[in-house]
Structure 1
Amino acid sequence: ETTIDELIEIINENLKYKSHYEKNGMNMVQRMHYSSIISEIEFAKELMRLKSKTDSLKEIDYYLENPEEFLKFFE
């Protein structure tokens, strides 16, 4: 399980790469990496948002039986 601190560390590390590329320019391969970095930052932010909404996730069967509980994550 990934903690919020680990997610913050991932975001900060990726922001360093992002800043470097924006400051120094990019070739085609670097643009692909840059795009990947942006996606990873957004994914980590979304995970942080979801983790902050719940103390712990229940098993998938619980959410299948109680879909309204699953929808609370997206409010």
Structure 2
Amino acid sequence: ALTDALASGHLRGAVLDVFPAEPLPEDSPLWRNPAVVVTPHMASMATSAEIVNQVAANIARLDAGEPLRNAVDLARGY
């Protein structure tokens, strides 16, 4: 329905963040549509203080030999 709405001009564009299957399948036509922006499931904006807290917490986890939070899973592609 979204692809049809874009093709017909009913919508000029779409910014998408969350999908029923994560990540969005590689063969989805949404990846190739120039009117669509796909974000990496993080559409919110973090404050500088929150970013500092997350980095500091991960440094502490690294020093303790614990797994890092919010690490990229290269096998999954995100």
Same structural fold, with TM-score higher than 0.5 when normalized by the shorter chain:
no
| Higher helix proportion (structure 1 or 2) | 1
TM-score of the two chains, using structure 1 as the length reference: 0.30
| Higher share of residues assigned strand | 2
User: TM-score under structure 2 normalisation?
Assistant: 0.29
